[in-house]
Amino acid sequence: MSKQYTTVNLLKKQKTAWITLDRPQKMNAINAAMLQELSEALETIEKDSNVRCVIIMGEGKKAFSAGADITELQKLTQETAAEFSRKGQNVFSQIEALAKPVVAAINGYALGGGLELALACDFRLASSNAELGFPEMKLGIIPGWGGTQRLTWTAGAAAAKRLIMLGDRVKAEEALKMGMVDKVVSQNMLKSEAEELAQRLCTWSPAALAQAKRAINSVTRNLLELGLEKETDFFAQLFSENETKKKLGSFLGQGNKKEGDL
Ligand code: COA
């Protein structure tokens, strides 16, 4: 558990492993290094029989994660976009396949890939200032790390169409009503609530918990896998569009950008 990462922190407290996304100056945007380190941290956790539960959160007070790092998205071609999509999908599927419960503690923005990460977790706690959404339309793309599939399975097609096709960003209380999060708590209670939830989970038999997770996930697994393949194809196709390049290019380096404007 002592490995030093640069984009995530992995900390073991009693039977719970805390993974913190650690690029607060970039709203914990997920770049290739973070995906890789997240995957390595999950492998370490999987092998450690002392770890019974995982909590994932973002460093700082502003964001769980503002999604895929747009500077990396800008460089993609149709060919590399497919690989980019599969890489993210695989790491998030690793969370789903982990034989231990995973809790997302959403402190602030969970946008794009940040929301896709949270949706791959088994439980979602949100702080009252959390905002969830898929801003991909503004970038001329669609979610490519499982969001089109997992949001639809979690909250239904109507919610997925509203967030993805309209680009609506919802606050924590609304996300709760939509079934996207399990509980809303004040920001200063988020860590302790996540810890309490983890402790409750740690009281059950690890084998029973693991089998429950496997059994529940098996309901959607086959269709989810097919849907993920389609999502990758559709995501990658968009990188042949000039409009996508133009929109992605306009996010960074614009001096007059306001919050949420792309
Ligand atoms: N990728 C790369 N960098 C990102 C980022 C992302 N997804 N989200 C935020 N950042 C960077 C900003 O470029 C900025 O960097 P800088 O200080 O070097 O200029 C820094 O994080 C802080 O972000 P900023 O936009 O100044 O903060 P804000 O409080 O005004 O707005 C957000 C916060 C989350 C609303 C806004 O950053 C945003 O809309 N981010 C993009 C979200 C998105 O489209 N995600 C989906 C990607 S598929």
- The model's pLDDT over 187-236, given as tens digits with 9 standing for 90+, comes to 999 999 999 999 999 999 999 999 999 999 999 999 999 999 999 999 99
In contact, 67 and 114? CB cutoff 8 Å: yes
Is 229 one of the annotated active-site residues of the chain?
Answer: no
- The model's pLDDT over 139-152, given as tens digits with 9 standing for 90+, comes to 999 999 999 999 99
- CA 22/CA 114 separation, integer angstroms: 13
Joined together, the tokens standing for residue 174 give 């609304």
C-alpha 61, offset from chain centre: 17
Is 136 one of the annotated active-site residues of the chain?
Answer: yes
In contact, 238 and 136? CB cutoff 8 Å: no
Kindly report the backbone phi and psi dihedral angles of residue 94, in degrees, each rounded to the nearest multiple of 5, phi listed first.
-60, -40
Would the CB of 105 count as within 6 Å of ligand 1?
no
List 37, 59, 96, 136, catalytic entry: 136
pTM of the predicted protein model: 0.96
Would the CB of 122 count as within 6 Å of ligand 1?
no
In this structure, the residue with its CA closest to atom 15 of ligand 1 is 26
